[in-house]
Amino acid sequence: MFKKCVAVVAAMGLMMVAGTMPAMAAGMGNMGGTGGMKMGPLPKHLPKPGKAISYTAAKMLIKYSNSAGMLMGHGKHKSVMFMGHNIHIVMVAVEPGSPDQTFEIRKLVDPEITVPAGAKVTLTLLNMDFGPEMIHGVLIGKAKPPYKTVVPVPVQGQIAEIPLTMPRTAKAVKKSMYFFGTTTFHAPQNPGTYFYLCQMPGHAKSGMYGKFVVTP
Ligand SMILES: [Cu+2]
């Protein structure tokens, strides 16, 4: 199973290099070790970040978020492990029904994320939250919790940033439009522990953060 996964991820990396990432749905089943959940395709024609997308397009991002990577660990210490040299991670800021001021990947709240050293990582944040204060973004850096109300940008040892992204446009989830942000960066060559956090004042202080671990 493990070997098979490595092969699949390697193949995925090649496809991504070839620029065909949006079409990667085919043959991507069984990656997650959660009983054959199929990895959803990334939406094919996403507009530039900053433009609103429909619930239908947002749902494709959510489906991807809920199926990419491998679940590791037990209980509260679950992590999502990403392998290969070309990784796409989709985080959701506060899926409806999740606790306030949290990130979700694979329905896990603020999970630990692990990526291999040197991997090219494309990180996408979909903001599903609603309300005037519910603007969210992502910084990844060395700065450890607890965080102050205002987190200086860039954070200490910053390696990635998704600018603040607006909340959804309507209370009704299915009738709303959604915003997302994305960034591509390389994981550091040296293994170590980083943290992802939301730079909206007060959010990281309230717990909107998690570990980002770079593995050998
Ligand atoms: Cu936030």
Summarised one tens digit per residue, pLDDT across range 139-150 is 999 999 999 999
- Give the model's pLDDT for residue 48: 66
- Ligand 1: centre distance to CA 185 (Å): 21
- What is the homologous superfamily of the domain 46-215 according to CATH? Cupredoxins -  blue copper proteins (2.60.40.420)
Instruction: Using the mean position of ligand 1's atoms as its centre, give its distance from the Cα of residue 91 in Å.
Output: 12
Torsion of the alpha carbons at 194, 198, 203 and 207, rounded to the nearest 10: -30
Q: How far is the CA of 148 from the centre of ligand 1 (A)?
A: 13
Q: What CA–CA distance (Å, rounded) separates 163 from 40?
A: 25
pTM reported for the whole predicted model: 0.79
Residue 109 has pLDDT above 60, yes or no: yes
Ligand 1 centroid to Cα of residue 32, in Å, is 27
In terms of pLDDT, which residue wins out, 18 or 122?
Answer: 122
| Segment 9-45, tens digit of pLDDT | 333 333 333 323 333 333 333 333 333 334 444 555 5
Instruction: Give me the residue spans of the domains in the chain.
Output: 46-215
